[in-house]
């Protein structure tokens, strides 16, 4: 059992607030990812959980026991760093056995644990090699193995894949998810890579400047983001934001653009108070939910650029004074400056207020928004 | 005119062949991407085009003119590097106008001002002309670097991983901007990158390099759909292409060199997903893992100890452990010789 809970944790470095009154509740056995850009406070968060940093305020609990004052070595939480620290002069076996020897564990038990970890990570045949003779992915596995042999209650991983090349990262992503499922242990994973976060996690916490923006399952982070920051952090290319004028309240939201209108079909009640009458807000729509229609019945746009990526083509479109992105099948052939009509998937529309906070998301549901065009 | 021709271009760094007899030819106004992993020779190739390195053998032509003895300053090339070089004590406008102000004879103030305005609009800095460069975001600094090179109207524009330090959202934005700019001004561009999405998305022609050798030189979709060898097939594509021994899959496969074996390759998005018993299915595989990416899922499957990746829709997500039928459409199959790793023509082309 290892539920990790943070309550009102604040950590300052001089004038910089690295973690700002941060609360999280990570369930036992969960693959929990902290996602954010460099400088968001991700690494500080991990270091605080493991005990390498002492919070200025707040409390950390392991299960229901407060551990903020527990010595790092006694927390039994393993931290795997971004930069793999392996002993270059020791064989893989001895690299794995080292922490156990330090703990004065009996030799048989050490052998059993090392072999067990090697089996889980598929590195049995590498046990007699030195780190220099390993590939990047193999070294990564050995570094994980060093954490595994200690049989900790939870694993904290700090950007473990960032040093690997793109293809290897792809493979390791799948392997890590497998591994975590097999181990059934709590794993807190820190990354700035949205693909890693989306593909591996049970839940994601999006962090910005030490403040948690949203904690949710990947689907909701993607389809019902709490604000524009979250909406931009996941999805590639990122969500389009189109400036609109909000009019006609009457309990229903109505967002006007010079060439289209988005209307809420439900009573939006209180959330409307977030939007000042006649104020500027944003309609958010992901590139894959913008479709180019052939019958010309849609919102008029002009092709700004086309980016064929092989499996799909990104079409950049001028809509009023903005450029938005649309994802089209690779078979599409459009010239720059061509006039094309587009439609938005009404089930995937989001409305954000001027400050970027989400007002409403269709989040896949029908009958939330209606889109009309001239 | 700024067509470029690389003729048997070679650079030998004391026994290390960084660039090995590379032939590439592009017309004026082409957007050329040099694509490959680190150490493939792409930056060395660009440095030779710029004049920062001298070729060991071979020649570079701009139009009909051999360039290897022309000093860099006389080549009329503009650079933008990964680490932007801008004057942080100057304003955006002063940075942009710098190349014109040092020119002899010096253009009139009116000319300089109108050029600065025009270029600032093109790179998206129109509203920031009077701002100190030191107060810009890293994204805007890179726009200044771009504008500064652009304003002197080089006949060739060289960009070495200009966006690799910037965040993903800005890179996606700049891809479209750069492609649009290039379309507007018809500028010859050489763009060095290890990011296949950038090369695919922006270039008219891609030169894929590995270990100093040119692997393939073709337009993006040809690189994607007709890779010349296994390396190119594996390097291009966001989700890794699948390789399987052709003999184990019930499809008519060509023969390799000396009648040897071949590897079958199919891109994940071309694999159709059907019921396990379906007559359409080429093979039946077991679902190991589903990676949701938002718009799509990457489905990892195993079949005969081989890993296969397919693309699924979040609305129809299979469960781990399920068997599903995979359809390999004939026209999307690629074959590679197991001895040479070169592409072998499949039956689809006959």
Would an 8 Å CB–CB cutoff place A307 in contact with chain B?
Answer: yes
CB contact under 8 A, A286 and B238: no
- By a Cβ cutoff of 8 Å, what residues of chain B touch chain A? 37, 167-169, 172, 175-177, 179-180, 183, 197, 200-202, 220-221, 224-225, 234, 236-240, 267-269, 288-289, 291-295, 298, 300, 311, 314
Is A56:A17 a contact under the CB 8 Å cutoff? no
pLDDT in tens, chain A (374 residues): 799 999 999 999 999 999 999 999 999 999 999 999 888 999 999 999 999 999 999 999 999 899 999 998 889 999 887 666 788 899 999 999 998 998 899 999 999 999 988 988 888 999 999 988 888 778 888 888 888 898 899 999 998 887 777 667 777 888 888 888 888 899 999 999 999 999 999 999 999 999 999 999 999 999 999 999 999 999 989 999 999 988 766 678 888 999 999 988 887 666 666 666 657 889 999 999 999 998 989 999 999 999 999 999 999 999 998 999 999 998 898 999 999 999 999 999 999 988 899 988 898 888 889 999 87
Task: Kindly state whether A345 is in contact with chain B, defined as any CB-CB distance less than 8 angstroms.
Answer: no
Please state whether the predicted TM-score (pTM) of the whole model is above 0.80. yes
Q: Reduced to 3 states, what is the DSSP secondary structure of residue A264?
A: strand
**Domains assigned to chain B:** 4-233 (3.40.50.300), 240-349 (2.40.50.140)
* Domains in chain A, CATH or no CATH each: 4-230 (3.40.50.300), 237-373 (2.40.50.140)
What percentage of chain A exceeds 90 in pLDDT? 62
Q: How far is B245 from chain A (nearest CA, A)?
A: 20
Give yes or no for a contact between A28 and A187, defined as CB atoms under 8 angstroms apart.
Answer: no
* A232: chain B residues, CB-CB within 8 Å: 169
Q: Which of A191, A177, A238, A35 is nearest to B295 (CA)?
A: A238
A37 touching B (Cβ < 8 Å): yes
CB contact under 8 A, A37 and B240: no
| Of B304 and B350, the one with more pLDDT | B304
Closest by CA to A31, choosing from A176, A187, A190, A185, is A187
- CB contact under 8 Å between A199 and B176, yes or no, is no
Q: Which of residues 209-268 of A touch B (CB under 8 A)?
A: 218-219, 222-223, 232, 234-238
Rg of chain A over Cα atoms, rounded to whole angstroms, equals 25
Partners of A303 in the β-ladder: A317
- Closest alpha carbon within chain A to B271: A311
Here the tokens at position A357 are 């906070």
Q: What is the pLDDT of residue A308?
A: 93
Q: How does DSSP classify residue B197?
A: H
Instruction: Give per-residue pLDDT as tens, A213-242.
Output: 999 999 999 999 999 999 999 998 999 999
> Could you report the per-residue pLDDT of B219-252, keeping only the tens digit for each?
999 999 999 999 999 999 988 899 999 999 988 8
CB contact under 8 A, B291 and A222: no
pLDDT in tens, B250-300: 888 888 888 889 999 999 999 999 999 899 999 999 998 898 888 899 999
A137 in contact with B, Cβ within 8 Å: no
**Six-digit token string for A179:** 């591994």
Strands (E), A137-202: 154-158, 186-191
Please report the sign of the dihedral spanned by the C-alpha atoms of residue A291, residue A292, residue A298, residue A302: positive
CA nearest to B300 within chain A: A174
Two tokens, residue A197? 């976060």
- pLDDT tens profile B170-200: 889 889 988 998 888 888 999 999 999 999 9
Asked if A299 contacts A338 with a C-beta cutoff of 8 angstroms, the reply is: no
Contacts of A238 in chain B (CB under 8 A): 168-169, 172
| CB-nearest partner of A323 from B37, B176, B236 | B176
């Amino acid at each position: 059992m290892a539920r990790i809970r943070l309550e009102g944790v604040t950590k300052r470095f001089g004038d910089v607030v690295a973690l700002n009154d941060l609360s999280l509740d990570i369930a036992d056995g969960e693959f929990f990812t902290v996602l954010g850009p460099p400088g968001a406070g991700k690494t500080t968060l991990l270091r605080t959980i493991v005990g390498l940093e002492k919070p200025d305020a707040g409390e950390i609990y392991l299960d229901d026991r407060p551990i903020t004052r527990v010595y790092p070595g006694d927390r039994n939480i393993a931290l795997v760093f971004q930069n793999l620290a392996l002993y270059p002069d020791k064989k893989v076996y001895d690299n794995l056995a080292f922490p156990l020897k330090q703990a004065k564990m009996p030799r048989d038990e050490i052998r059993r644990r090392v072999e067990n970890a090697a089996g889980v990570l598929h590195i049995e045949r590498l046990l007699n090699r030195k780190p220099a003779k390993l590939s990047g992915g193999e070294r990564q596995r050995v570094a994980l193995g060093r954490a595994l042999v200690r049989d900790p209650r939870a694993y904290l991983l700090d950007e473990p894949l960032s040093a690997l090349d793109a293809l290897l990262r792809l493979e390791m992503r799948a392997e890590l998810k497998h591994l975590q499922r097999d181990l059934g242990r709590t794993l807190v994973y820190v990354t700035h890579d949205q693909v890693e976060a989306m593909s591996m996690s049970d839940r994601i916490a999006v962090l910005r400047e030490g403040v948690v923006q949203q904690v949710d399952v990947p689907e909701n982070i993607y389809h019902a983001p709490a604000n524009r920051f979250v909406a931009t952090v996941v999805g590639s290319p990122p969500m389009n934001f189109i400036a609109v004028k909000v009019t006609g309240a009457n309990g229903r939201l109505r967002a006007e653009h010079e060439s289209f209108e988005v209307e809420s079909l439900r009573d939006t009640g209180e959330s409307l108070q977030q939007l000042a009458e006649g104020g500027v807000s944003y309609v958010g729509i992901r590139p894959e939910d913008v479709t180019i229609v052939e019958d010309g019945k849609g919102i008029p746009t002009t092709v700004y650029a086309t980016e064929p990526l092989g499996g799909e083509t990104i079409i950049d479109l001028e809509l009023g004074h903005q450029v938005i992105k649309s994802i089209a099948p690779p078979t599409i052939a459009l010239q720059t400056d061509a006039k094309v009509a587009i439609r938005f998937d009404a089930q995937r529309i989001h409305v954000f207020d001027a400050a970027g906070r989400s007002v409403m998301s269709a989040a896949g549901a029908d009958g939330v928004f209606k889109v009309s065009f001239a | 005119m700024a067509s470029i021709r690389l003729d048997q271009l070679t650079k030998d760094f004391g026994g290390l062949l960084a660039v090995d007899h590379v032939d590439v030819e592009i017309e004026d106004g082409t957007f050329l991407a040099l694509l490959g992993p680190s150490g493939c020779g792409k930056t060395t190739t660009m440095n030779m085009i710029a004049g920062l390195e001298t070729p060991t053998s071979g020649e570079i032509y701009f139009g009909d003119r051999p360039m290897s003895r022309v000093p860099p300053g006389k080549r009329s090339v503009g650079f933008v590097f990964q680490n932007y070089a801008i004057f942080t004590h100057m304003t955006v406008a002063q940075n942009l106008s710098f190349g014109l102000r040092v020119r002899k004879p010096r253009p009139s103030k009116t000319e300089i001002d109108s050029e600065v305005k025009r270029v600032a609009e093109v790179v998206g800095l129109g509203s920031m002309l009077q701002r100190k460069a030191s107060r810009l975001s890293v994204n805007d600094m890179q726009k200044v670097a771009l504008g500064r090179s652009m304003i002197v109207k080089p006949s060739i524009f060289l960009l070495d991983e200009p966006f690799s330090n910037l965040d993903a959202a800005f890179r996606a934005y700049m891809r479209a901007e750069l492609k649009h700019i290039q379309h507007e001004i018809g500028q010859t561009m050489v763009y060095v990158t290890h990011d296949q999405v950038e090369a695919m998305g922006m270039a008219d022609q891609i030169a894929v390099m590995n270990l100093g050798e040119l692997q393939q030189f073709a337009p993006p979709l040809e690189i994607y759909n007709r890779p010349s060898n296994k390396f190119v097939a594996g390097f291009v594509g966001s989700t890794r292409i699948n390789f399987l021994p052709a003999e184990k899959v019930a499809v008519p496969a060509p023969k390799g060199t000396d009648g040897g074996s071949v590897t079958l390759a199919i891109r994940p998005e071309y694999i159709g997903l059907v019921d396990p018993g379906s007559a359409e299915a080429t093979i039946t595989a077991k679902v190991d893992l589903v990676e949701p990416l938002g718009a799509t899922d990457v489905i990892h499957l195993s079949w005969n100890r081989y890993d296969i990746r397919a693309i699924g829709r979040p609305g129809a997500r299979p469960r781990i452990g399920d068997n599903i039928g995979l359809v390999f459409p004939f026209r999307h199959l690629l074959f590679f010789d197991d001895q040479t790793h070169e592409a072998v023509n499949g039956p689809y082309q006959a």
